[in-house]
Structure 1
């Protein structure tokens, strides 16, 4: 497959490298990517043991392509929506995950504006982007070992449509501090003009579960009451900032969008607030899983390149090696348990769930314990989830975290949930929260370590056998 350029997902950098910064050649972009990796401390991903560009892949898009090649799957072209509907169905991505972003954040930026935003869809493993009257469907698909893999599908009717992997220059956008230094995804909140362009020298924010509400979703449409507390559904108004304000990266005033989008041009007329809340959590959770995976493999490879798959006990490793593994694992643990999550401010949870098909469908897929509780149950009053532990703990990417890092995360998680660790980072976890999360995991998560099984047996708790995730037809 030929190399293809891929834009930053839900970020402003694609604009800064094209419309604002001028056109940059393929060679210059590739060189910048390599310099960034070498000089800015980003995780080395191209060479052993990661081999990001050459390792065999088992991500959902790669597996779908194999089925297409074998004639076991088919994509159907629709004259109005191209391959989008067929791609979403083939990858089991719900249409009701639709969110709309009107900042010019795709290489198809000339077709993105406030009246024609880009539509984004996702499930636990795949992100899909579609531009109105665009010529390409953009995809990010998570491989259990390699993390974010970038694909493009030409949205022109073809006898044999092919997902083409984006190579080389995609990493100049997709490896950044906002992705934790690994190939990854991020949401960025910006100050957009009425045309969707970035307002020069204004603040930009990475959006995740810890972001203040008033810094979220600039350049996005948001359907729901929570939008009133954010930068959503607005554009910069008034005269441009003077040079002093620009130099200080001052925040310009935001006002109504003059020419909003035509809902009839999209699969749904909404940009779901619950889908955006979950998306903000999931994107950085994916990045932290990848970071923990990469750093563990790199640390063990540095000790013995001839045995990259060895899994020694953590406490037998040299202290610097232990630190290299523990640092990202501790970050992952805290994010997994929503440490530092920004309160939602007392929203009407019943109304939010009633008005969100995404919320109802997402929760219905949850694995449930004997008390019918699931990590996919929503709170939406003061926090995103009723039981604050990430549902991505069930993902194949989490399961693929190499030892001893995965064992360390599980050990620390058990310490927190059983109350052995009551440090300030976990202060918002009440005892009922901890007990509920512990019970849900013990009853629904296969493959728990022996330490967890011993705890469950000692406390007469039901242990997971082989629970199946419900499917929504």
Structure 2
């Protein structure tokens, strides 16, 4: 987060990745994030109006907690073993069961990270927390409803009034670029890792996205849970030269279906002894969709800004719609819609099961309809969720999307959920799925459902 090394592009096995000489990364909360060439504030669109990313006015859970600390209305408790970690998790409503563990050296505290001392990541819908054994700081990222990912650190030294420190351009060296949809965001990577925790570059890397099969996920992460005959890259350490050059020859089976991680490292120093498979799957989905929501927000606001300027220059009403504006809204709205409806999710070949109760706790959060159905209920037999519409539709970031984008998403979602969309691009949804999702949203997301056509809301 605080250091940067000029990066260059290398190539590996059909996967491209930027790599710097010193791996001086940002708050790399999610493995594996690589160093890219320095960026300047003037070069980044999100520093312009109406985003103004570096502006100190923020709207995210961490900035609100920091204001409470400054006012003395909230206190954080320090513990010798974990510093402020547990207290911060409680203050932000983050479950300890969300813990996932990364052993690849992909954080600015890289010298303290190894397969023996993995970095822990905790998360909820809006905040990510990174903790390293003996680390100087907690690594923190929160989702601002207008700006995107906001990066912070919190000193792990006991202080009378601990305060979060915001970081901007030093973090955006890595957390901005094509890998994060061109907005301040997060990146989840899967890497082959050597016994020291160093990524094995010759073996290539994978950027985790909705289409990623399990076999290409979680390299550099510990994974606790069962997944049957499906294999993952979790718990894998590459030890010999042959596998560095030919990773396709690695047998992933011996490291899979592990309910106990003690053969790999001592979990005693950690809040829980797990790196839950279901938490990892949710994390991967959430990271990708968060970035798409931010991109849709920024690009729609830029489109509306430009429309006003063009209309003013031509002497037309500022709100007169332009085809270019509609096209720009559509270009960012459609990928978000596909991600929200899990259109590219690979079908599971065997059931998934975690180890620490994350799934049970997660399922009880959020709204349910009158039949007890919720977007947070898991399937884990054929796919991740029982009702494949993202729970992130119930977050402040989604609600803060500009009106034209919300209208577009509502119209398109209605077309998909009623079968009016015959494009064949949402074949993952059965007729029963579409009906259930439509009914759940009508009850639990009425403000969004009111954007649907009049007949959807009982209006003749």
Whole-angstrom distance in 2 between the partners of 1:53 and 1:314: 28
256, 278, 298: which one aligns with 2:282: 278
Pair 1:57-2:70 in alignment: no
Q: Any idea what SS the aligned residue of 2:327 has?
A: helix
How big is each residue's C-alpha offset from its partner over 1:28-55, in whole Å with a ceiling of 9 and x where there is no partner? x9972239x95xxxx6111222100015
Whole-angstrom distance in 1 between the partners of 2:318 and 2:389: 24
Give the conservation status (yes or no) of the 8 Å contact 2:76–2:84.
Answer: yes
Change (3 A) 1:431 1:264: same
Whole-angstrom distance in 2 between the partners of 1:444 and 1:70: 35
- Aligned position for 1:403: 403
Give the conservation status (yes or no) of the 8 Å contact 2:23–2:106.
Answer: no
How big is each residue's C-alpha offset from its partner over 1:217-251, in whole Å with a ceiling of 9 and x where there is no partner? 00010001128611111111212678xx5xxx965
- Aligned position for 2:304: 300
Give the conservation status (yes or no) of the 8 Å contact 1:125–1:141.
Answer: yes
Q: Any idea what SS the aligned residue of 2:452 has?
A: helix
- The count of residues paired between Structure 1 and Structure 2 equals 431
- Aligned position for 1:180: 181
Change (3 A) 1:193 1:364: same
Normalising by structure 1, report the TM-score: 0.84
Give the conservation status (yes or no) of the 8 Å contact 1:14–1:106.
Answer: no
- Aligned position for 1:225: 226
Change (3 A) 1:457 1:404: closer
- Aligned position for 1:157: 158
Pair 1:329-2:329 in alignment: no
Give the conservation status (yes or no) of the 8 Å contact 1:214–1:231.
Answer: yes
Shift of 1:158: 0.7
Whole-angstrom distance in 1 between the partners of 2:273 and 2:150: 29
Q: Any idea what SS the aligned residue of 1:104 has?
A: coil
Whole-angstrom distance in 1 between the partners of 2:234 and 2:273: 16
- Aligned position for 2:349: 345
Change (3 A) 1:133 1:18: farther
Whole-angstrom distance in 1 between the partners of 2:125 and 2:196: 32
- Aligned position for 1:464: none
Unaligned runs of 5+ in 1: 8-12, 23-28, 461-473
- Aligned position for 2:12: none
Change (3 A) 1:18 1:167: farther
Shift of 1:457: 3.8
Whole-angstrom distance in 2 between the partners of 1:103 and 1:265: 18
- Aligned position for 2:70: 69
How big is each residue's C-alpha offset from its partner over 1:356-389, in whole Å with a ceiling of 9 and x where there is no partner? 4110000011311111100000000110000000
Give the conservation status (yes or no) of the 8 Å contact 1:234–1:254.
Answer: no
- Aligned position for 2:447: 447
Shift of 1:302: 1.8
Change (3 A) 1:359 1:152: same
Give the conservation status (yes or no) of the 8 Å contact 1:114–1:259.
Answer: no
Moved more, 47-56 or 336-345: 47-56
Q: Any idea what SS the aligned residue of 1:148 has?
A: strand
Q: Any idea what SS the aligned residue of 1:448 has?
A: helix
1:164-203 pair list within 5 angstroms: 164-203=165-204
Shift of 1:6: 9.7
229, 244, 266: which one aligns with 1:262: 266
Give the conservation status (yes or no) of the 8 Å contact 1:193–1:199.
Answer: yes
Normalising by structure 2, report the TM-score: 0.86
Change (3 A) 1:106 1:31: closer
Change (3 A) 1:293 1:149: same
How big is each residue's C-alpha offset from its partner over 1:402-428, in whole Å with a ceiling of 9 and x where there is no partner? 021111001100111111113221111
Give the conservation status (yes or no) of the 8 Å contact 1:135–1:156.
Answer: yes
- Aligned position for 1:82: 83
Change (3 A) 1:319 1:162: same
Whole-angstrom distance in 1 between the partners of 2:36 and 2:232: 36
- Aligned position for 1:238: 240
227, 250, 255: which one aligns with 1:253: 250
Shift of 1:449: 5.2
Shift of 1:200: 2.4
- Aligned position for 1:363: 363
Unaligned runs of 5+ in 2: 6-15, 26-34, 256-261
Give the conservation status (yes or no) of the 8 Å contact 1:102–1:113.
Answer: yes
Shift of 1:146: 0.8
